[in-house]
Amino acid sequence: MIVAEQKPLSEIKEIIAPYKKILILGCGTCVKTCFAGGEEEVAVLASALRLAYKKDGKEIEIEELTIERQCENEFIRESAPAVSRNQGVLSLACGAGVQALARRFAKTPVLPGVNTTFIGVLEKQGIFTEECSGCGNCRLDIFGGICPVTRCAKKLLNGPCGGSQNGKCEINPETDCAWQLIIDRLKALGQMDNLRKYIPPKNWCTSLSGGPRKLVREDHII
């Protein structure tokens, strides 16, 4: 899923400062799972802002609503009445959701309430890790199911580098060296020969480096 983290309260206060009547719009999918922007988080943020404003002797009217997903019009349109009642929308969805809202509600300022970070998994309750950077050309088959593009800080295809020590990455003693993981996995799979193979330079055209991407499925368009 997409992992995001709610912005610090001080930053959110700055962002919504120009508005007296806002809608905090939550999203029930990815950001709900990582506790950044689901229904509960909308409620907590609204309450926190009301307390903060009261303490500062200022006024604000906050409406709260959460829709299933903010990346699809089918759900976004459900929020239209609420959006029209407010001066601005503080979206707690990922960056894609914020932009989808902005596209539809061109006359209402749509503001980001979370920092979208990565595509990841739930390693265990409360811990999310980055796994995929969407390079557009997946070769997890040769790397034993561990992505060196995402999980190696230097994106090495012929790793590891000289900074790998005790299975940890040089940039953070708590980060596993992806190449140590790859070597261990290939050993377990009996595929150590993969390590002798020279992997040529990656074609980055399919990644963000080639510009923002688009997927068109003609078979689904009428």
User: Which neighbouring-strand residues pair with 25?
Assistant: 65, 91
Question: What are the backbone angles phi and psi of residue 27, rounded to the nearest 5°?
Answer: -130, 130
Q: Name the residue nearer to another protein (CB basis): 10 or 211.
A: 10
By CB under 8 A, tell whether 204 contacts another protein. Answer: yes
Minimum CB–partner distance for residue 131 and another protein (Å) = 18
Minimum CB–partner distance for residue 111 and another protein (Å) = 18
By CB under 8 A, tell whether 119 contacts another protein. Answer: no
Residues 55-114, interacting with another protein (CB under 8 A): 55-56
CA-based nearest residue to 157, from 169, 137, 143, 177: 143
By CB under 8 A, tell whether 140 contacts another protein. Answer: no
Q: Collapsing DSSP states into helix, strand and coil, what is residue 131?
A: strand
**Sign of the CA dihedral with 88 first, then 92, 98, and 101 last:** negative
Please check whether residue 60 is in contact with residue 23, taking contact to mean a CB–CB distance below 8 angstroms.
no
By CB under 8 A, tell whether 123 contacts another protein. Answer: no
Residues at the contact surface with another protein, assessed by CB under 8 A: 8-10, 40, 43-44, 47-48, 50-52, 54-56, 153-167, 170-171, 177, 180, 183, 195-196, 198-202, 204
